[in-house]
Amino acid sequence: MELTDIWFLLIAVLWTGYFVLEGFDFGVGMLLRVLSRDNTDRRVLINTIGPVWDGNEVWLLVAGGATFAAFPLWYASLFSGFYLALLVILVALIIRGVAFEFRGKIDSDRWRRGWDLAIMVGSAVPALLWGVAFGNIIRGVPLDTDHNYAGTFFTLLNPYALLGGLTTLSVFAFHGAVFVALKTEGEVRARAKALTWPLGGAAILFGASFLLRTQVTYGTGWTWAPVAIAAVALVGAVGAARTGREGWAFAATALTIVATTVTLFGSLYPDVLPASNDAANSLTTTNASSTPYTLEIMTWVAVLFTPVVLVYQGWTYWVFRKRVTRTSIPTTQGLPAGRS
């Protein structure tokens, strides 16, 4: 296997980790005021992801950095063509991060209500736009002979990409509801469990449509396997959540996201950004990659540091593995939200 193929696979793994981990962060954020009845409930919800959400975002930073270093032409064409959409995602992520820290600074319902809205919007916008972005990557975009994006912002708003956006939005919302049911007790858990049915139904509807369209139009023979796994896991997650088996449900939603990401990258390879106007202009793992020496250095760095990062993040989840309840929330209002 060539180093270019290895780095394409590693980037797929990084995006998979990001979608699985940040996916439930987005879901919890979107459902913040849906699953809560008062500020204590909302602090319970935020505290379920408070110790881990910023660590989960590291997967995005590493995925972007790896793309820049391993496939600079892919990075350049992607970030120039998708500039506005990626800027909106970045602003939403910044606002969400600020909101987590600022909502508890002042003991005011109006103050907290504004930051709660920022958390919800800052979670929903990336959840939607990541699906739109990857839908366009799989479908392909207009590229000129120099691999520069030749379309407009509205070129990205095609039916297939929008269906991808609705898929990630609904799947992440369902993933988040299952995570809340897994990490809480009492009324919050009951409300999250009740909401898994409609959210799971929406995820099945949009997810099945998107995956089937992806497989039929862009997939290969072997990608039928992850499509089938994603479908079975998603249906199983709904059933497990309804019967109170939140651990199994969360494992199934995570498997759904993993299988879906495998389908997307498997359908994309060996391209990294297909040209919808002329296949000769497409970026591939070969013509978009860095030099072999650069890839070799990156490989050694990844071998040395990746296990350290995985062990540290796994330890973090182990330390904060217990359920969060209303009785575990301190009454002090001055603490930053998500840190109490």
Residue 330 lies in a domain: no
| Integer CA distances (angstroms), 295 to 17, 68, 89, 157, in order | 21, 11, 28, 34
List the one residue out of 223, 178, 228 whose CA is nearest residue 207. 228
Residue 170 lies in a domain: yes
Q: Please give the angle made by the CA atoms of 57, 63 and 64, to the nearest 5 degrees.
A: 95
Residue 327 lies in a domain: no
Containing structural domain, residue 184: 3-321
Residue 335 lies in a domain: no
Average model confidence (pLDDT) for the chain?
Answer: 93
Residue 271 lies in a domain: yes
Best mean pLDDT range from 153-157, 252-256, 307-311: 252-256
Of the candidate ranges 23-32, 261-270, 297-306, the one whose mean pLDDT is the lowest: 297-306
- Tell me how crowded residue 216 is: count the other CB atoms within 10 A of its CB: 9
The tally of domains found in the chain comes to 1
Burial (Cβ within 10 Å: 0-12, 13-18, ≥19) of residue 21? buried
Count Cα neighbours of 325 within 13 Å in the Cβ-side half-sphere: 6
Q: Tell me: the pLDDT tens digits for 202-238?
A: 999 999 999 999 999 999 999 999 999 999 999 999 9
Residue 276 lies in a domain: yes
CATH number of the domain enclosing 233: 1.20.1630
Question: What pLDDT score was predicted for residue 334?
Answer: 44
pLDDT at 170 over 80: yes
Question: What pLDDT score was predicted for residue 340?
Answer: 42
- pTM across the whole model: 0.93
Question: What pLDDT score was predicted for residue 143?
Answer: 95
Q: Tell me: the pLDDT tens digits for 230-289?
A: 999 999 999 999 898 999 999 999 999 999 999 999 999 999 999 999 999 999 999 999
Question: What pLDDT score was predicted for residue 265?
Answer: 97
Average the pLDDT over 186-206 and give the result.
96
Question: What pLDDT score was predicted for residue 330?
Answer: 78
Question: What pLDDT score was predicted for residue 332?
Answer: 57
Question: What pLDDT score was predicted for residue 327?
Answer: 87
Rounded percentage of the chain residues whose pLDDT exceeds 90: 87
Q: Where are the alpha helices (DSSP H) in the chain?
A: 3-30, 39-49, 53-56, 58-70, 72-81, 83-102, 109-139, 159-183, 186-218, 224-242, 246-268, 292-319
Residues 60, 97 contacting (CB under 8 angstroms): no
Residue 264 lies in a domain: yes
Q: Tell me: the pLDDT tens digits for 62-108?
A: 999 999 999 999 999 998 889 999 999 999 999 999 999 999 899 89
Rounded percentage of the chain residues whose pLDDT exceeds 70: 97
Average the pLDDT over 172-188 and give the result.
96
pLDDT at 303 over 50: yes
Residue 333 lies in a domain: no
